[in-house]
Structure 1
Amino acid sequence: MGKYFKIGVLLFFLSIAYFGFTNYPKLELISGFSSKNVASAHFIDKRSKKDIEKNDNDFDVISWASSQINEAEQSATATVLGLKKRKAIYREGLGATLINDNFDVTKPYEIPKRTKSNNSLPFPYGDLEPKDTFFSNVDYTKLNQAVANAFDAEGYNDKKTRSILVIYKDKIIAEKYVEGFTKHSLILGWSMTKSVTGTLFGILQKQGRFDIYKPAPIVEWQSDNRKNITTNDLLHMNSGLEWEEQYDKICDATKMLFEAEDMSWSQLIKPAIFKPNTHWNYSSGTTNLLSGILRKQFKTHQEYLDFWYSALIDKIGMHSMIVETDMVGNYVGSSYAWATTRDWSKLGLLYLHKGNWNGEQLFDPSWAKYVSTPTNTSEGRYGAQFWLNAGGKYPSAPKNMYYCSGFQGQKIFILPSQDMIIVRMGLTDDHQFDFDGLLKGIVGSVKKN
């Protein structure tokens, strides 16, 4: 008995040692994710720490972290078993930022100037409630069933959908929220933010202020083979630059989001390992590099901060949206935009109408075709900061559908042939949630006129 007990104790301590050896390097990333997510969800969407930890930070190794909120200094901290303490601070107008020990919290900072349209129009072009509209070609029973099926039945928690919004011919025909969320709830879009960032280049191009087909304006690349990389290559994730994006391990993407002071620098310093336009590779670092390129188009930091809102976000009435910044003031264009479900839908509507927002042309109609045309070597999966169905990922949806997509299943589906936008926000992606079934049910409920 004593012999087996000793062996058991030895195996126990060996397992503890192995666990520590393999996971200790990840602890800083875990506590970083937790503190950042708690700070953002609490101070932006006013949710409680208990709710955030139970519903947002309860997956994989992130659940190991314990968080605390400091209301007075508007911050959140997190540790893993008391180790690797990380802190995120909230600043009005800039959202929550994960900081390090070198960050000066007393340093003055600029915030974006916001403008709010003041009109008496209903959604989507104004702030009034949408008018009730009945379409004779819509099977509302089938539609509502498809939407209801996207949510968990009582006693279950596997689909984890938070909201569904369906817009047909500019009218809301279905809208549903899980308990605890409403049309006023701000939800993190994660990588749907990439589509916001990409759109700004379309706006600059229409204004004659930027040419995406010229070599990217990056001084550090001019003395090596990266000098031939164009902004067009970057928008298509086809630059040939080295990058690893895999969130279950320490990689380029996780180090950027949870350690870097200047996230635009993370991709900039990487070498080219392929020729441009020969190797598609999804990279959040590339989008944050694009955010850095945008910053250099303006004389002042204030102009850069304002442009995102004045040229796009507030221009189309996405007044709830806030895009968060890194430690040096760059918008984290890869990942950190928050907005209500209705406001997220407006980005889709802008593309459905090929850049025309209630009579004003924000980008050329050709830009919508540009972002929805498959990138070379992506096998029909990707365009320019938008995902595509050209390769048939969702067989029940039309091939010309394209969409914004974010971590844990944030989606804005743009269906030009159906004159339809479908938004789904939640906490589960394709491996857990049946997006094809959702699309099949909604699209199948509307007969073409």
Structure 2
Amino acid sequence: MKPTYFYILILGLLFGFSCSSEDDSTSNEPEPEAVYFPPINSDNWETTSISELNWNENELQPLLDFLEEKNSKSFIILHNGKIVQEHYFNGHQNSTLWYWASAGKTLTTAVAGIAQEHGLIDINNKVSDYLGTGWTSASMEKENLITCEHLLSMTSGLDDTLGDDVSASNLQYVADAGNRWAYHNVYVKLQDIVAEASNTTWNNYFNTNLRDKIGMTGNWIDIGSLSVYASTTRSMARFGLLSYANGKWEDLQILNENYLAQATNTSQDINLAYGYLWWLNGKSTYHLPQSQVEFLGQLIPNAPSDMYAALGKNDQKIYVVPSKKLVIVRMGQSADDDNFALSNFDNELWLKINALIN
């Protein structure tokens, strides 16, 4: 019997060694490529090529021709943080500042999240906790229903037909907060909330806690009662990259990952294609500004279903596509004389992008 035990022992050792070797080979597989971040204090930015990514180079020129024809000023594609394509059109240069329009709403989303992480605000609290009562013309009972989250999700219940003026007299009650989705510039009250809670100005808090930490340039420009952000195209791409990297810049977690996940997923049950001031693709229905109509289908059918986007007037755009490791920025004038942030241009553009990347 002893030889039998000996053979069993030898077989066991051989089998164990074999398993161990397989485990070792598995552990030696290359790790996924880390996200690249450009330096904070430099405009140097690593690149990768279309050929390295095995994209269809023959489709690049048709994409660029389309962008130029459609009044674009600039266009950048990042793959895992590195620049694949960067182009400027119609007299625009890489150092030229251009406005983000409503695409800049997502900057307010980010800063509100940072302020919450700092313990300065809680988005579940009433707006009146920070601004006092009387910031709308609604009754105190109805005003006190409105939380900071309602501003982020466009569900304040305030009248969206009275223009950009967000003074109290123009913020009139239409429905209880949370019961009606309406695209409304009342979101800018979040900037007042952050300024009040941080005991500084919105600009100072934004610059210190977001802009400067990721190497952005640019400034807020007052237009009437609203502030609009203007920057270089690369600065817009830096913010898109921060969002793609789940709120992290190199080893620094600037924006809470769970908060960003909330911001880039459906925020309420009325407009499924809207998060916290981010537009979401891949949902079964969507609503558009100045309308209470529910439309069937995806927001941008040609775009990947996991894409989320910052969209601004005259087709200012940041597209973030985690599944494709992409951040895409387009700045310019209106592509088709359609002033709203979302138009058929998005779908046409994605048809061209798909031809390039697939």
- Normalization by structure 1: what TM-score? 0.61
Deviations 1:333-378 (A, max 9, x none): 4xx1110111111111111011001211011111221111123254
Per the alignment, residue 188 of structure 2 pairs with 288
- 1:225–1:252 CA distance, 2 compared to 1 (3 A): same
Residue type matched to 1:359 in 2?
A: D
Provide the rounded CA distance (Å) in 1 between the counterparts of 2:126 and 2:279. Answer: 24
User: Quick one: which of 32, 42, 46 aligns to 1:131?
Assistant: 46
- 1:272–1:377 CA distance, 2 compared to 1 (3 A): farther
Say whether 1:384 aligns with 2:276: yes
Q: CA RMSD in A?
A: 2.4
Say whether 1:219 aligns with 2:145: no
Deviations 1:263-295 (A, max 9, x none): xx52576232211211000011x1222212122
Per the alignment, residue 274 of structure 1 pairs with 175
Per the alignment, residue 21 of structure 1 pairs with none
Deviations 1:66-87 (A, max 9, x none): xxxxxxxxxxxxxxxxxxxxxx
Stretches of structure 1 lacking an aligned partner (at least 5 in a row)? 1-120, 153-158, 245-250, 257-264
**How far is 1:326 from its partner?**
6.5
Larger radius of gyration: 2
Between 1 and 2, higher relative CO (CA 8 Å, sep ≥ 6) is seen in 2
The within-5 A match list for 1:333-372 is 333=227, 336-372=228-264
Per the alignment, residue 410 of structure 1 pairs with 316
- 1:220–1:420 CA distance, 2 compared to 1 (3 A): same
Per the alignment, residue 109 of structure 2 pairs with 198
Provide the rounded CA distance (Å) in 2 between the counterparts of 1:243 and 1:236. Answer: 14
- 1:317–1:201 CA distance, 2 compared to 1 (3 A): same
Per the alignment, residue 309 of structure 1 pairs with 207
Provide the rounded CA distance (Å) in 2 between the counterparts of 1:352 and 1:268. Answer: 39
Say whether 1:160 aligns with 2:40: no
Residue type matched to 1:372 in 2?
A: T
Question: Does structure 2 conserve the Cα–Cα contact (< 8 Å) formed by 1:280 and 1:375?
Answer: no
Question: Between Structure 1 and Structure 2, how many residues are aligned?
Answer: 296
Residue type matched to 2:48 in 1?
A: T
Stretches of structure 2 lacking an aligned partner (at least 5 in a row)? 1-35, 284-297
Question: Does structure 1 conserve the Cα–Cα contact (< 8 Å) formed by 2:181 and 2:271?
Answer: no
Deviations 1:100-126 (A, max 9, x none): xxxxxxxxxxxxxxxxxxxxx983655
Provide the rounded CA distance (Å) in 2 between the counterparts of 1:148 and 1:358. Answer: 35
State percent identity of aligned pairs: 25
**How far is 1:137 from its partner?**
2.4
SS in 2 for 1:296: helix
Say whether 1:324 aligns with 2:221: yes
Say whether 1:395 aligns with 2:301: yes
**How far is 1:202 from its partner?**
0.8
Question: Does structure 2 conserve the Cα–Cα contact (< 8 Å) formed by 1:225 and 1:272?
Answer: yes
User: Quick one: which of 405, 411, 424 aligns to 2:330?
Assistant: 424
SS in 1 for 2:140: coil
- 1:168–1:143 CA distance, 2 compared to 1 (3 A): farther
Residue type matched to 1:226 in 2?
A: E
**How far is 1:213 from its partner?**
0.9
Provide the rounded CA distance (Å) in 2 between the counterparts of 1:288 and 1:238. Answer: 14
